[in-house]
Amino acid sequence: MKTAIYPGTFDPVTYGHIDIIERACTLFDRVIVAIAQNPAKKPLFSVDERKEMILAATRNLKNVEVDAFEGLLVEYARLRKAQAIIRGLRAVSDFEYELQMALMNRNLNEDVVTVFLMPHEKYVYLNSSIVKEVASYGGDVSQLVPDFVLRKLREKFAGNANAGVKRL
């Protein structure tokens, strides 16, 4: 069984993430969407909330599992008996960082390969940080995330003092 891990913070999951997951599902028997707990990042959603959103977004994909981990990705891959790490490349600006990570991961574990997948071109500009920022100001992100994620974002930002535009 060929297993791939698609790691990320998924804070929140977007249509860009879902597109990459769907593409990975056509290439691998099992795709583990692995929520990385990065102490340097301050997520808006808890791990459980992110798991719930990813499960809802992938419920129609039979070969997807959702998990969370902390520590080295290649060690997690070894633990889950994965042969590949999936990384999405949106733009050329992503490439240098992703290449460095792929080479470091190969240095740490030559048995795991990194597979780069490009999302549909309508998602190349999309990332979770942009979605959160726009949502925090009351902007419309309904074309960027599933409805259940949109509801969660609205709940988080309900009564947000940042919403709207103010002249200074």
Average pLDDT over residues 31-53: 93
For 128-155, what is each residue's pLDDT tens digit?
Answer: 999 999 999 989 999 999 999 999 999 9
Number of domains in the chain: 1
Of the residues 17, 23, 30, 87, only one is catalytic, namely 17
Our answer to whether residue 41 is catalytic in this structure is yes
Tokens of 109: 């574990």
- Candidate list 51, 128, 132, 152, residue with the active-site label: 128
58 in a structural domain: yes
- Write the pLDDT tens digit of every residue in 52-74: 999 999 999 999 999 999 999 99
Is 17 one of the annotated active-site residues of the chain?
Answer: yes
Contact status, residue 112 vs residue 4, Cβ threshold 8 Å = no
CATH of residue 58's domain is 3.40.50.620
User: How many whole angstroms separate alpha carbon 120 and alpha carbon 98?
Assistant: 18
3-class DSSP state of 85: strand
Is 141 part of any domain? no
With respect to residue 168, please indicate whether it lies within any of the assigned structural domains. no
Residue 128 appears among annotated catalytic residues: yes
Query: Which tokens go with 16?
Result: 């860009």
Residue 140, CB half-sphere, CA atoms under 13 Å: how many?
2
Amino acid (one-letter) located at 72:
L
Q: Kindly state whether residue 77 falls inside one of the protein's structural domains.
A: yes
**Residue range(s) defining the domain that contains residue 55:** 3-124
pLDDT at residue number 95 = 86
**Range in 21-25, 32-36, 92-96 the model is least confident about:** 92-96
3-state DSSP call for residue 119? coil
Residue 32 has pLDDT above 90, yes or no: yes
